[in-house]
Structure 1
Amino acid sequence: MRELAGKVAVITGAAGGIGRALALCLAEEGMTLMLADVDPVGLAETASRVPRAETLTQVTDVSDEAAVQHLADRSFGELGAVHVLCNNAGVFQGGRIWTRKPEDFTWLLGVNLWGTLHGIRAFVPRMIEQDTEGHIVNTVSVAGLFTAPSSGAYSVSKHAAFAASQVLAQDLAAVGSKLRVTALCPGAVRTDINRSERVRPENLLVEERTEDEAASARVLDDAVERGLDPAEVARAAVEGIREERFLVLTHPGYARGLREQTEALLAGGLPSFPDRA
């Protein structure tokens, strides 16, 4: 899908970080936008920065199927079509997998996996019916390809999101659809993902933070501080759309890491998280 000007894009998780960068980048390409997030203040801030008048916003919890369906209904109803869908919303919590509470898995799977699945189910059938070129970008994270200690529920949710992206691409190809899929797998990026707790639903709050969770949070704080500019990730995503790339990585070390991981698994060993450089 090389021509973006005059087309429509829907972006979840648009209140900041990669979502905001995607909004700015796609607006510069001449696209009309529907922006969604659970954070109304951040969402309004993103909309105010978009250098185009034709931008709609909707407060949306992507873990809520009905909310995502409403987002799709409004997008198609008011904008007439959707050509690019960015399932970008995501949250993080670390800690060893045996210390995670059921509420932790419910929250992360709800946003990181079900948010993507709800987006696919609400938008893709109608995008297929349009019979036009289109693209779905799922912000998976490199944690969908590799695991690391104390990544707990996050890695589980992101590996599942990567599988959903791959199956979606294969299913679309099998039916001869004009739609393409990109699994966007960035490493550390300067976003607010280390402050995900601020948008955690009250019914899924856990009062006590475990020592391993706190240690993981400190590691993430440092990684985010040294991370990529979100604009770099957005540009890589747009390039992936234009080149119809399924997998988009942000660091050269991750490509080498995939080879090393395969070799380790074939040898019966335990892969390690790759160097980003």
Structure 2
Amino acid sequence: MSTNPNSPSHREGRLAGRTALITGAGLGIGRACAVRFSEEGARLVLTDIDPINLAKTRALLAPGCEVLVHVADVTEETQVAELFSHADAFGPVEILVNNVGGGRPGRIWDLSVEDWDHTMRLSLRSMFLCTRAILPGMIERGYGRIACLSSGARNGTVWNALHMGACAYSTAKAGVTGFVRDLAIELADSGVTINAVAPGPIDTELAGPFLRAMEEQGLDYSPFRMVPMHRLGTPREVADALLYVCSQEASYVTGTTLDVSGGR
């Protein structure tokens, strides 16, 4: 038996002894989720398309966190298969966070088919491929937690819609909710739960400057004015919600979409 006080068997926390795979872990919410989960004792499999950002995330993890880093494009079936082959060798993955998403903005009359397909690929294809890959093992073991990133945009977000148009992104994030609702029913007797977390305007490296610029321009639909709490959320606040739905505390919670949106 290991006598290292920082080994997974000795570390404490709400995810102690659990292995979590987080996609899009190089920036923003994915990075915050990795850090938060490491603080709660999880072993981590982190993946992103950018190796430099992945390395930066790894450097921020809690001391003693056991981690496997794997560069992959999780919209590609063959790369997802390779990712999960490496993850299985690391140990049984009991938690999956489908964080990869995004898309190209634009009014519908300006959107190309490529723009539309690119958005669906990022948010929906990646979620489908990773969930499909992980479920057989979770079902066999009778335990699993899956969390998917939706968005307040699933209901239409005023600042996105009025500023630049975002129907493709809103459609994709609404699709996450449907995905979670159906699979929660399919998996109800399996010991596996699946939920979504829907962030509002979050101060990430990519979105923060864009959202703050709306307020600086005095736009009536700035999220600082539209959100009742009159501020942007932080990536850590979203990570805290992801921690909840991936913890034992949420054992009777499945098929839900939890808003983290400042009251919006």
CA distance in 2, matches of 1:31, 1:115: 23
Shift of the alpha carbon at 1:227?
2.0
2:182 counterpart residue number: 167
1:256 counterpart residue number: none
Q: Does 1:141 align with 2:141?
A: no
Shift in alpha-carbon separation, 1:47–1:223, aligned structure 2, 3 A: farther
Q: Which amino acid is 2:152 matched to?
A: V
CA distance in 2, matches of 1:223, 1:107: 26
Counterparts of residues 11-90 of structure 1 (less than 5 Å): 11-51=22-62, 52-79=64-91, 81-90=92-101
CA distance in 1, matches of 2:38, 2:215: 30
1:229 aligns with one of 225, 231, 234 = 234
Structure 1: unaligned runs, 5 residues or longer? 196-214, 254-275
Q: Which amino acid is 2:250 matched to?
A: E
TM-score normalised by structure 2 residue count: 0.79
SS in 2 for 1:192: coil
Q: Is the 8 A contact 2:104 2:118 kept in 1?
A: no
SS in 1 for 2:109: helix
Q: Deviations over 1:31-78 (max 9, x none)?
A: 000001111111110011112341111111111111112111111122
SS in 2 for 1:26: helix
Q: Is the 8 A contact 2:46 2:54 kept in 1?
A: yes
Q: Does 1:158 align with 2:165?
A: no
Q: Deviations over 1:115-137 (max 9, x none)?
A: 10011111112211122x32000
2:105 counterpart residue number: 94
Number of positions where the alignment pairs a residue of Structure 1 with one of Structure 2? 230
Shift of the alpha carbon at 1:220?
10
Structure 2: unaligned runs, 5 residues or longer? 1-12, 217-221, 225-230
Shift in alpha-carbon separation, 1:34–1:223, aligned structure 2, 3 A: farther
Q: Does 1:180 align with 2:193?
A: yes
Shift in alpha-carbon separation, 1:14–1:181, aligned structure 2, 3 A: same
SS in 1 for 2:187: helix
Shift of the alpha carbon at 1:90?
1.4
Q: Deviations over 1:224-262 (max 9, x none)?
A: 9x5211001111221233224322111353xxxxxxxxx
Shift of the alpha carbon at 1:218?
6.3
CA distance in 1, matches of 2:192, 2:177: 17
Q: Is the 8 A contact 1:92 1:194 kept in 2?
A: no
Q: Is the 8 A contact 1:162 1:183 kept in 2?
A: yes
Q: Is the 8 A contact 2:233 2:261 kept in 1?
A: no
Counterparts of residues 168-247 of structure 1 (less than 5 Å): 168-173=183-188, 176-194=189-207, 219=214, 223=223, 226-241=231-246, 242-244=249-251, 245=253, 246-247=256-257
Shift in alpha-carbon separation, 1:187–1:171, aligned structure 2, 3 A: same
Percent identity, aligned pairs only, is: 34
2:258 counterpart residue number: 248
Shift of the alpha carbon at 1:6?
1.0
TM-score normalised by structure 1 residue count: 0.76
CA distance in 1, matches of 2:214, 2:192: 38
Shift of the alpha carbon at 1:191?
1.4
CA distance in 1, matches of 2:55, 2:117: 28
Q: Is the 8 A contact 2:119 2:168 kept in 1?
A: yes
Q: Is the 8 A contact 2:44 2:68 kept in 1?
A: yes
Q: Is the 8 A contact 2:95 2:145 kept in 1?
A: yes
CA distance in 2, matches of 1:9, 1:216: 31
CA distance in 2, matches of 1:111, 1:38: 12
